[in-house]
Structure 1
Amino acid sequence: MLYDWANSAYSVIISTAIFPIFYKASADAAGVDGVDSTAYLGYTIAIATFILAMLSPILGTIADYEGLKKKFFAFFFVIGVVSTGLLAAVPYDSWLVLLALYTITAIGFAGANVFYDAFLVDVTREDKMDDLSARGYGWGYIGSAIPFLVCIAIIMLSQMEILPLSVTAASQISFVITAIWWAVFTIPMLKHVHQIYFITREKKPITNSFKRLGGTLKKIRLYKPLFLFLIAYFFYIDGVGTIIKMSTAYGTDLGISSTSLLLILFLTQVVAAPFAILYGRLAERFTGKKMLYVGIGVYIIVCIYAYFLKTTIDFWILAMLVATSQGGLQALSRSYFAKLIPKDQANEFFGFYNIFGKFAAVMGPLLVAVTAQITGSTSTGVLSLVVLFIIGGVILAFVPETKQEAGMVSE
């Protein structure tokens, strides 16, 4: 749970809030049109997630060997932390360099999450997975809110000239704060969490890993319920990820001030924390599947409302709606999948879980980016995401909730 606390600072400050605003200002200073700069951000997110989508199943298969899961986790964690800190060294008007370095930070962040998610099977029983996964997301929202509040304070004090810093320098300091927070609170994960389920190391591990990767592909095709869940997840998580990553750029295009955006996003984290934990509790009572449907329903409302969004008040309402369900939907998806798969092949299967999520994250930002440039309106692209949630919900109806019902062999 503390790793969620640690890396969620990146999710908010870099992926969602301060970096997108900093990037948009940098692109504007360089004379790039607002709609185009949002589109370029969408393309960048798509490129980063495509790279991870290609790597995830291969790395996950190799990491199933004894002792390798944590090493792969640490490798990507270091890449993410170092590149995030380096964002502070990029000159303000170098918006292309910002996008390139942001791509590296995203690869480090998402790559570490492949193995972090797979550790879920090592740290709890199946009947506790929904609750623990949701608690992780809940802790993450609280853990991200603290450094985010500090960063907002530094930026606002700089704007009021109380601190002898430019807003540019204040934003760059927030990138350093993010890297430090992420690094420090990952120490318990590195020190205390260990791989319990694994495959014994053998000769020619890379060659055999590719053979097992092919075997897993066959398994996924053979176990129809598991494959159907991944397809459903592909569609609905696409909408979730796109809204999270592009909400700030969208708000900027609507003319909402950076101060209002930062305050809205901060309170979104505060509200999201108890709701994520609530989703886990309600999943124990009503089942994870029913709560996934609740989350999908809320996001359909979000997409429709976003199309008609005009004022800052509208954006506040939209943000609070997102806050009620974004953590719960992601947390229960993670635990739902974890309960269906063999534990000793968790990395391998979570590699495919992430490839479906990452390919979805390629499609969503591209959809918004292309639609924004064709129509000149980001709102149309957001509205189109409704279709993805509906398709995901329909397919989810055919997926069981237990490994036995899914026809997966026991470990």
Structure 2
Amino acid sequence: MDVSGSVGSPSRGRVVAWALWDWGSAAFNAVIVTFVFTVYLTDAVAADEESGSQALGIALAVAGVFIALLAPVTGQRSDAGGRRRLWLGVHTGLVVACTAGLFFVRDDPSYLLPGLVLIAAGSVFFEIAEVNYNAMLVQVSTRATIGRVSGFGWGMGYFGGLVALTIVLFAFVQPDVGLFGVTSEDGLNIRVVALFAALWFALFALPVLLLVPEAPPSGESARGSFLSGYAVLARRLRDMWRTDRRTLLFLVASAVYRDGLAAIFTFGGVVAAGTFGFSATEVVIFAIAANLTAGTGAVLGGRLDDRFGPKRVIVAALAGLILVGGALVVLPGKAAFWACGLLLATFVGPAQSSSRTFFARIVAPEREGEAFGLYATTGRAVSFLGPLAFSGFIAVFGTQRAGMAGIALVLLAGLAAVLPIRPPGSEEGEQQDEAEEKSHP
């Protein structure tokens, strides 16, 4: 795939180096947070699946609050100081350290709290790292190639997760005696997976840190207290409300439903094991299939996006997710989870990819860098909603299955928020944008 594009565009080597970070990050997202280690925490470390799932939801909700408070301003300051790559390296290193620390979490309830703290802290550091990573997209692409480069990175993430999960399955999870003589005694086979994930991420994060140059400072001062950054952020949001309201409304709406999308993958493996009786091996096999269907859905959704527009794809994907998620709440048996789970994964890809293209089509060209950075940060600003809804519904109804209904409710709220937003390219939308600009020069 030619991702470097036109003459004068960044080299293919830098594009591949940038995308390899996404490949490596799948070890934390897919292996640790989604399909392997969180399942181990709730299924083997916790006293029971319901209490473990509820505790996991609370831990990730707390992490989401920290992400919402820290990510926007840390990203803003790294741009201002020209230290985007530096902070990407620092926070990636902290994620690797938290991941490696999970090796010491044994299959005993007394280790649940340390495990949850490491997962939550790693999630915070990962999201802050990803702010800088996403902002580097404009450094490795041009306006003509940004879609291809972004899609290439997204695909590398899915494929990296597939490969990492396959290695984990056949080297550690499935065999009675795995690689290096590892067995399941004292949870060692899953604990070693944490070391593998840490090494995988560290290895594939190196190219972007070595080959992609540091971004120049944005021209704004990075001095002053950390808290002063919130005043700058407030002024930018106020100006956006006055002159670019459609962009701001889409940022809010997409932040809600994107958190629901993230929650599907975060808690999918947990529900598979706790409610539908999947073994650790079956969970990983399902994860591999889900990565394949999500990637396929993203590719097909991109073609539909070009033909029908991004908003129609987003609305259709969210409606499909809500309907299938609702069915999963009531349907019994592993076969139902396989069918509904793979359908959910198929809808997730188009929703994610079309959200990015919707935003790209309504952003003013002279503000792309700032806008994509804001898109990355606001996507996590409400990242406590999905975990909170999942754990809250479990607390209210007393079953893990009810947590899926909580996630469906978050998706429904996101769908309701995005429906009134004018799609890019609409005549009505362009006329109203012009009117807003004239009324607030």
Report the TM-score, using the length of structure 2 for normalisation: 0.83
Amino acid at match of 1:134: G
Q: 1:214 aligns with which of 207, 210, 234?
A: 234
- Find the counterpart in structure 1 of residue 311 from structure 2: 289
Q: Which moved more, 1:343-352 or 1:291-300?
A: 343-352
Amino acid at match of 2:399: S
Cα 1:87–1:162, aligned 2, differ >3 Å: closer, same or farther? closer
1:80–1:105 contact (8 Å) kept in structure 2: yes
- Find the counterpart in structure 2 of residue 148 from structure 1: 165
Aligned-pair CA distance for 1:342: 5.9
Give distance in 2, aligned partners of 1:55 and 1:373.
28
Aligned-pair CA distance for 1:84: 0.8
User: Within 5 Å, which residues of 2 pair with 1:269-308?
Assistant: 269-308=291-330
Aligned-pair CA distance for 1:356: 3.6
- Find the counterpart in structure 1 of residue 401 from structure 2: 379
Amino acid at match of 2:263: T
Q: 1:328 aligns with which of 340, 346, 350?
A: 350
- Find the counterpart in structure 1 of residue 136 from structure 2: 119
Does 1:110 pair with 2:132?
no
Q: Which moved more, 1:320-329 or 1:208-217?
A: 208-217
Aligned-pair CA distance for 1:348: 5.3
Give distance in 1, aligned partners of 2:201 and 2:179.
28
1:60–1:348 contact (8 Å) kept in structure 2: no
Amino acid at match of 1:12: A
Does 1:2 pair with 2:20?
yes
- Find the counterpart in structure 1 of residue 105 from structure 2: 90
Backbone CA RMSD of aligned residues: 2.9
Q: 2:249 aligns with which of 217, 222, 228?
A: 228
1:28-49 CA-partner distances (Å, limit 9, x unpaired): 4xxx232111000000111111
1:302–1:321 contact (8 Å) kept in structure 2: yes
Give distance in 2, aligned partners of 1:162 and 1:84.
19
User: Within 5 Å, which residues of 2 pair with 1:308-323?
Assistant: 308-323=330-345
Listed as ranges, the gaps of 5+ residues in structure 1 are none
Amino acid at match of 2:100: G
Give distance in 2, aligned partners of 1:18 and 1:387.
26
Give distance in 1, aligned partners of 2:25 and 2:321.
24
- Find the counterpart in structure 2 of residue 401 from structure 1: 424
Secondary structure of 1:310's partner? coil
2:103–2:195 contact (8 Å) kept in structure 1: yes
User: Within 5 Å, which residues of 2 pair with 1:11-410?
Assistant: 11-28=29-46, 32-65=47-80, 67-93=82-108, 94-126=111-143, 128-159=145-176, 164-167=181-184, 168-194=187-213, 199-200=218-219, 202=221, 204=223, 209-222=229-242, 223-254=244-275, 255-341=277-363, 349-350=371-372, 352-397=374-419, 398-401=421-424, 405=430, 406=433
1:213–1:348 contact (8 Å) kept in structure 2: no
1:280–1:332 contact (8 Å) kept in structure 2: yes
Listed as ranges, the gaps of 5+ residues in structure 2 are 1-18
Amino acid at match of 2:159: I
1:2–1:185 contact (8 Å) kept in structure 2: yes
Report the TM-score, using the length of structure 1 for normalisation: 0.88
1:35-91 CA-partner distances (Å, limit 9, x unpaired): 111000000111111111100111122122252222222221111112111211333
Aligned-pair CA distance for 1:103: 1.4
Aligned-pair CA distance for 1:104: 1.6
1:295–1:326 contact (8 Å) kept in structure 2: yes
Q: Which moved more, 1:41-50 or 1:124-133?
A: 124-133
Secondary structure of 2:181's partner? coil
Amino acid at match of 2:325: C
Aligned-pair CA distance for 1:198: 5.1
Give distance in 2, aligned partners of 1:292 and 1:142.
23
Higher RCO (CA-CA < 8 Å; seq separation 6+): 1
Cα 1:27–1:96, aligned 2, differ >3 Å: closer, same or farther? same
Cα 1:195–1:252, aligned 2, differ >3 Å: closer, same or farther? same
Give distance in 1, aligned partners of 2:96 and 2:178.
30
Q: Which moved more, 1:303-312 or 1:275-284?
A: 275-284
2:178–2:189 contact (8 Å) kept in structure 1: no
Give distance in 1, aligned partners of 2:241 and 2:363.
13
Give distance in 2, aligned partners of 1:38 and 1:389.
20
Aligned-pair CA distance for 1:308: 1.8
